């Protein structure tokens, strides 16, 4: 009996052990496993997001760097182009100055040589004349001096229609001089590089002195063109009403003579020459960019405001032309503009003083101008002599 009970206990204990082992063996461990797996997955997602954010930031930085590099390259290109243009202009200016200096040196040498030859010939002739007949030479010299003095006295006070008459000038920089043009007008003379230092050396003052006229208004404006805004009160265009009215000055006096010497800046700015039918046409005020229209409007206004004045249109000298004939951007020459000036003046019954015949050729500009445009003393003297003769002979 005792042995049975021991056996039962023993068996019961063994079963208990087995049961406990089975329970432990088949206990669900999923919860622990799931939590263990979830933690690594969450960390991996965070790491992926951080990587993506880093790549995005890197891409943005690379894009910004590329944009900055492109902007730097563009700025460098602009600076290089500007520097190249600056160097080209400097080279052109140096070439022009060298050509001008060479031409002036050659002309000076030729002039000195010619002068030396003339002096030598004069000395030889004088010596021969003195050897042959000193008394006769002295008498001839005295007679010549008397005749010259009488001629000079006659020229100083010319017996002509112009003596005592008033004159106004409508011009550009070629006809300016400081203190002799309206207040606010841009001025060229006197210029450091030009030998005209006194107003008496300008072409227009020499004409006034030669003819006995009196200056009313020198309405010349440096850098001005014939064309432009003909309506604006502050317009510098030769066809503008304010430039025309300025010729009578503050006194409202009508000038007896008006000299018009404009157009070279229209040539330089390549203002379209325009077309002309040969007959006078009425022109209206507006912004004009056509030389024919502008010049005709200018004459139209001059004749309307000053019907009793004698108006003279002066043609243009060749400018900056060292070898052959210069053309502007439109392919026009100075002579094209001169031809149009003559045509318009003829249609309106206005006299023309043609400076083509004043003795200054295109290849002599280095001798008669300071820069290929503005006359020096020698050039101004030739212009003055020609204009004076044209006025006295034709007036």
> Which comes out higher in pLDDT, residue 275 or 5?
275
Which stretch of 64-68, 202-206, 246-250, 353-357 has the lowest confidence by average pLDDT? 64-68
CA distances from 362 to 149, 355, 366, 369 (A): 35, 12, 9, 11
What average pLDDT does the chain have? 81
Which stretch of 74-83, 233-242, 272-281 has the lowest confidence by average pLDDT? 74-83
Nearest 5°: CA angle at 374, between 370 and 376?
A: 55
R_g of the chain computed on alpha carbons: 47
What average pLDDT does the segment 155-167 reach?
75
Q: What is the pLDDT of residue 353?
A: 98
Q: Per mean pLDDT, which of 124-138, 335-349, 360-374 is the most reliable?
A: 335-349
Distance between CA atoms of residues 144 and 211, nearest Å: 24
Q: How confident is the model over 185-229, as pLDDT tens digits?
A: 999 999 999 999 999 999 999 999 999 999 999 999 999 999 999
Q: What is the pLDDT of residue 62?
A: 84
Asked if residue 182 has pLDDT above 80, the reply is: yes
- The beta-strand segments (E) located in 230-294 are 257-261, 287-288
Asked if residue 165 has pLDDT above 80, the reply is: yes
Q: How confident is the model over 4-54, as pLDDT tens digits?
A: 444 344 444 544 544 544 444 444 444 434 343 444 445 556 667 767 777
Confidence of residue 97 (pLDDT cuts 50, 70, 90): low
* Cis ω before 303 (30° cut-off from 0): no
Largest CA distance in the chain: 199
Q: What is the pLDDT of residue 386?
A: 98
Task: Confirm whether pTM is higher than 0.75.
Answer: no
Phi and psi angles of residue 26, each rounded to the nearest 5 degrees, phi first: -100, 15
- The beta-strand segments (E) located in 181-295 are 214-220, 228-229, 257-261, 287-288
Q: How confident is the model over 224-253, as pLDDT tens digits?
A: 999 999 999 999 999 999 999 999 989 999
| Torsion angle, alpha carbons of 70, 71, 72, 73, to 10 | 50
Would you say domain 151-394 falls under CATH 3.30.365.10? Answer: no
């Amino acid at each position: 009996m005792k042995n049975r009970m021991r056996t039962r206990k023993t068996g019961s204990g063994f079963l208990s052990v087995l049961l406990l082992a089975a329970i432990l063996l088949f206990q669900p461990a999923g919860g622990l496993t799931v939590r263990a797996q979830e933690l690594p997955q969450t960390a991996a997602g965070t790491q992926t997001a951080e990587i993506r954010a880093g790549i995005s930031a890197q891409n943005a930085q690379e894009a910004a760097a590329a944009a900055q590099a492109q902007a730097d390259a563009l700025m460098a290109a602009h600076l290089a182009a500007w520097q190249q243009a600056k160097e080209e202009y400097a080279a052109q200016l140096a070439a022009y100055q060298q050509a001008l200096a060479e031409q002036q040196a050659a002309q000076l040498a030729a002039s000195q040589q010619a002068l030396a030859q003339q002096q030598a010939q004069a000395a030889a002739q004088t010596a021969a004349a003195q050897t042959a007949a000193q008394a006769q030479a002295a008498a001839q010299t005295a007679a010549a001096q008397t005749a010259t003095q009488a001629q000079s006295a006659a020229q100083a006070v010319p017996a002509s229609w112009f003596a005592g008459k008033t004159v106004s000038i409508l011009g550009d920089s070629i006809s300016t001089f400081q203190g002799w043009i309206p207040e606010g007008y841009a001025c060229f003379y006197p210029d450091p590089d030009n030998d005209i230092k006194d107003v008496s050396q300008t072409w227009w003052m020499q004409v006034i002195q030669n003819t006995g006229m009196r200056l009313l208004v020198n309405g010349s404006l440096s850098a001005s063109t014939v064309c432009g805004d003909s309506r604006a009160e502050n317009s510098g265009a030769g066809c503008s009403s304010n430039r025309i009215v300025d010729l009578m000055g503050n006194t409202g006096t009508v000038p007896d003579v008006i000299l018009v010497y404009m157009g070279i800046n229209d040539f330089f700015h390549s203002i379209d020459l325009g077309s002309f039918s040969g007959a006078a046409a009425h022109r209206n005020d507006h912004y004009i960019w056509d030389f024919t229209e502008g010049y005709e409007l200018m004459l139209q206004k001059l004749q309307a405001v000053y019907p009793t004045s004698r108006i003279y249109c002066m043609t243009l000298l060749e400018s900056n032309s060292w070898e052959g004939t210069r053309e502007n951007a439109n392919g026009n020459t100075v002579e094209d503009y001169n031809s149009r000036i003559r045509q318009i003046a003829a249609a309106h019954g206005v006299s023309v003083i043609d400076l083509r015949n004043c003795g200054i050729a295109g290849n002599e500009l280095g001798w008669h101008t300071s820069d290929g445009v503005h006359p020096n003393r020698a050039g101004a003297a030739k212009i003055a002599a020609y204009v004076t003769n044209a006025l006295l002979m034709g007036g």
